[in-house]
Structure 1
Amino acid sequence: MDNYPLLNIFWTMLELFLWILWFFLLFKIITDIFRSDDMGGWGKAGWTIFVILLPFLGVLVYLIARGSSMTQRDVAQAKQADAAFQDYIRKAAGTGGGGGATAASGGHVDDLARLAELKTSGALSDEEYRRAKDKLLA
């Protein structure tokens, strides 16, 4: 242990952390290249070759040139996943997995979900939402 002082351990840990961070960023960029809809096959191939052959320069140029659209694609994918999950919840709630629900109650669940969406979007006031919900549940 005398030949490897504490400062060298710190620098080794820092280098390891930076390499892990670098590979994470590289894989993130490569996945973004392939999920991008606004690029054709040749563009994707060019960016992939550039990022693989000149990794440091390629990643920095990609972040400068397409960094903002990377964020937009991430947000769009998150919204799409959330919408799919919400749709799954609505379908699961409407099927009546407990055995006692009917198709009519599934319709009420969908109608209540639509009312809630209209209220959150601002299309319905609180009073209109309450009246429509009372009418639906009556």
Structure 2
Amino acid sequence: MDFFQWTFTWILWVFEAFIWVATLMILFMVIVDLFRDHTLRGGWKAVWLIALLLFPLLGALVYIIARGRGMVARWAADRGVVPEQDDWKPAASSSPADDIAKAKQLLDEGTITQGEFDALKSKALGKQFFG
């Protein structure tokens, strides 16, 4: 076996392994979605499961085409509401003196250490603090 044939065989093997893993992932996602769908009755779930077991690629493709929108909606609902980009912005400091006063208050309360106070003070003054 020469170098080029060996290289081609190796690349083909990697591609086939990738296809198998991708197929298994798609089948797993479809089966999980099938059992998480509460609107589908048990008999139809059994039919889909038999179709997926007998014809894995064709069954998964038909399932994704037929029930893809519901699948996306269920996965999105499980993730929850994604906040928009503008929902949270750090508050701009009013002045360095206010920042130092707040840091001093935290130091007096014992919330932060002297080193943390020094770091906040340096940051408020626009200096680099290396501890």
Measured against the shorter chain, the TM-score band is 0.5 to 0.7
The structure with more helix, counted as a fraction of residues: 1
2:14 aligned residue: 13
Equivalences for 1:34-113 in 2 at 5 Å?
A: 34-79=35-80
The runs of 5 or more residues in structure 1 that have no matched partner are 83-119, 121-138
Mapped partners of 2:43, 2:31: distance in 1: 14
Which has the higher Rg, Structure 1 or Structure 2? Answer: 2
| Count of residue pairs the alignment pairs up | 82
Cα distance in structure 2, aligned partners of 1:2 and 1:33: 48
Q: CA RMSD in A?
A: 1.9
CA distance in 2, matches of 1:53, 1:33: 16
- Residues 49-84 of structure 1: CA deviation (Å, up to 9, x unaligned): 11111112111100100011100000011118x8xx
SS at 2:19 equivalent: helix
Structure 2 regions of 5+ residues with no counterpart? 88-131
Quote the offset at 1:2 in angstroms. 3.6
- What amino acid is aligned across from residue 65 of structure 1 in structure 2? A
Q: Under a length normalisation based on structure 1, what TM-score does the superposition of the two structures give?
A: 0.55
